[in-house]
Amino acid sequence: MKFRILGRTNLRVSEIGFGAIPIQRVSFKEAADIINKAHQCGINFIDTARAWTDSELKVGKIIKSCRSEWIIASKSPVLTFKEMKEEITQSLKNLQTDFIELYMIHHLKDKKMLDLVLSQNGALKALKEAQKEGKIKFIGVSGHNLETLLLVAKTGLFDVLMVNFNFKEQEATKVLLPFCQKENIGVIVMKPLAGGTFKNAAAAIRFCLINPTISTVIPGILNERELNEDVVEVLKNPNFTKEDKEKLKKEVKKIGLPFCRACGYCITRDGGCPARINITLCLRLEGYFEKFGPKDWLMEVYNKTPVKPASCLFCGHCEKVCPFSLPIIRALRNLKIRKAAEKKWGKEKPSINIPARDYNDEYQEFVNLTQKILGEDHDIPLAYFNFPKPANEGQKTTVRNLFKEMVKRVHPDEKRMKEILKRLCQEMGIESEGIKNFENLLTLADYDNVVDLMRVLPRIKDN
């Protein structure tokens, strides 16, 4: 294993590190086995995060006996002084250590978030305080927005950046990486395989390592097969060849955009998908189904998933937490593998069971009018609307989205839009002047108004 210096930190890190996001999905014993084998390969840098469920806990327990041989990086997405101070304390406890070499702000999206971090009571104040106390050694930022990361770098306040970079996504080489090299800011590369999209893993990692600005590349490693592909094979053949380049070029042509990097945030962040759909698996299977095959086997795997995309609640949680702003809801509805599976085994049904009893009158009316407008064949999981009040934001969003869908079914003719809007405003007691479309109306309507609007729609349809 070769080692590189992580920018101004002067930390000597293995040029291939261990991304500990996948170990959330395996037992402690399996995690310990793969981390120890990675250590035997020469890896001394391990990256974890507060947001990755039990990843910190596993890492802390596994490397405790050889702590001095590891360089730990962890991170938190919180932006305020108080929250960050609490997160650092929890990380130290989870990792069973007195200090953490590198602590980062996790997934910094935009300038607004950066301004909050830098404010008087922002997260940077807590990081600097912890650094002064010896709890953390260096401070960094991880993110996927290159413009935001450049703003971070230009502050001069951060030692390390974690950047999304791979053979398909090379935009960072234009401005960000040269600036980091000039300012001696350490660069860690995440998503070197584009979330596992590249099948030629060793070639993809070798490509990243030809850039001298990059200190370490951290593929997520789940098992021994991935360790062999991502690490052992690179150690055997470290040079990036013309053959590697041609292989990766062919893969890029198949990938297309947008594509899922399999970061798993949609199924782990903030409680994950409320419907418990394994979104990452579904999108990964779709990618393989379209580009690689074998299709029959992939359909079998898809069909065995316990919760199908038909159970989607349209709450928008997945899209909110996705660092790449992918249109996940639309993607789940239009999966080619889903359509092929339905053709073979029949239409998917929501996994949520609608209770046979205890419908109150209001909810039963809602079910009836929804079925009247959308028909019996719709794929909206109506059970989701049997929720206690007050509704949370996800449920409110779902109701609004359902309303939009119902409006399309009721009257798609744009010529009558003004007339319909005027009647809806009258029903809601809202002034109709200035209301030009349903989006305008929904911004004025609160949750109860939207439910009332749904009750009005059948009458508009009938008239």
Give yes or no for residue 208 having a pLDDT over 60.
yes
Q: Provide the pairing of β-strand 186-190 with 160-164.
A: parallel
User: Which has the minimum average pLDDT: 153-167, 212-226, 291-305, 344-358?
Assistant: 344-358
Q: How confident is the model at residue 11 (pLDDT cuts 50, 70, 90)?
A: very high
Between 161 and 435, where is the model more confident? 161
Q: How confident is the model at residue 441 (pLDDT cuts 50, 70, 90)?
A: low
Give yes or no for residue 323 having a pLDDT over 70.
yes
Measured CA to CA, the distance from residue 178 to residue 299 in angstroms comes to 45
Give yes or no for residue 449 having a pLDDT over 70.
no
Measured CA to CA, the distance from residue 173 to residue 159 in angstroms comes to 19
Task: Give the closest residue to 222 by CA, choosing from 272, 305, 284.
Answer: 284
What was the pLDDT predicted at 381? Answer: 44
Give yes or no for residue 458 having a pLDDT over 70.
no
What was the pLDDT predicted at 133? Answer: 98
CB 240 within 8 Å of CB 206? yes
The residue whose two tokens read 């590349």 is 217
What was the pLDDT predicted at 216? Answer: 98
Measured CA to CA, the distance from residue 404 to residue 148 in angstroms comes to 34
CB 411 within 8 Å of CB 461? yes
Burial class (CB in 10 A: 0-12, 13-18, 19+), 406: buried
- Containing 160, the helix (H) or strand (E) segment is strand 160-164
Measured CA to CA, the distance from residue 430 to residue 441 in angstroms comes to 9
Q: Is the dihedral of CA 101, 107, 110, 113 positive or negative?
A: negative
What was the pLDDT predicted at 65? Answer: 96
Compute the average pLDDT of residues 29-44: 97
- Cis check for the bond before 323: say yes or no (omega within 30 of 0): no
Compute the average pLDDT of residues 376-395: 47
Mean pLDDT of all residues in the chain? 82
User: Which has the minimum average pLDDT: 43-57, 151-165, 424-438?
Assistant: 424-438
Give yes or no for residue 99 having a pLDDT over 90.
yes
Give yes or no for residue 179 having a pLDDT over 90.
yes
What was the pLDDT predicted at 389? Answer: 45
Spacing of C-alpha 98 from chain mean position: 30
Q: Is 175 helix (H, G, I), strand (E, B) or coil?
A: coil
What was the pLDDT predicted at 443? Answer: 53
What was the pLDDT predicted at 392? Answer: 53
Give yes or no for residue 42 having a pLDDT over 90.
yes
Q: Is 33 helix (H, G, I), strand (E, B) or coil?
A: helix
Half-sphere exposure of 394 (CA within 13 A, CB side): 18
- Cis check for the bond before 294: say yes or no (omega within 30 of 0): yes
CB 102 within 8 Å of CB 46? no
Which residues does 380 contact at the CB level (< 8 Å), separation at least 6?
A: 314, 370, 374, 402, 405
Between 356 and 178, where is the model more confident? 178
User: Which has the minimum average pLDDT: 48-62, 162-176, 261-275?
Assistant: 261-275
- 444: number of Cβ within 10 Å: 13
What was the pLDDT predicted at 69? Answer: 98
What was the pLDDT predicted at 81? Answer: 97
Q: How confident is the model at residue 199 (pLDDT cuts 50, 70, 90)?
A: confident
Between 265 and 101, where is the model more confident? 101
What was the pLDDT predicted at 265? Answer: 81
Give yes or no for residue 211 having a pLDDT over 70.
yes
Compute the average pLDDT of residues 131-160: 96
Query: Percent of the chain at pLDDT above 90?
Result: 50
CB 189 within 8 Å of CB 214? yes
At CB < 8 A and 24+ separation, what contacts does 254-259 make?
254/291, 254/292, 255/168, 255/194, 255/197, 255/287, 255/291, 258/324, 258/326, 258/327, 259/194, 259/195, 259/197, 259/287
Between 158 and 386, where is the model more confident? 158
User: Which has the minimum average pLDDT: 116-125, 283-292, 370-379, 386-395?
Assistant: 386-395
CB 334 within 8 Å of CB 309? no
Measured CA to CA, the distance from residue 449 to residue 411 in angstroms comes to 20
DSSP string spanning 80-127?
A: BHHHHHHHHHHHHHHTT-S-EEEEEE----SHHHHHHHHSTTBHHHHH
Task: Give the highest mean pLDDT range of 92-96, 142-146, 305-309.
Answer: 92-96
Give yes or no for residue 415 having a pLDDT over 60.
no
Beta bridge partners of 159: none
Q: Is 352 helix (H, G, I), strand (E, B) or coil?
A: coil
What was the pLDDT predicted at 414? Answer: 58
Residue 363, both tokens: 């909810």
Task: Give the highest mean pLDDT range of 104-113, 235-244, 394-403.
Answer: 235-244
pTM of the entire structure? 0.67
Residue 379, both tokens: 């794929």
Compute the average pLDDT of residues 229-233: 96
Compute the average pLDDT of residues 386-400: 52
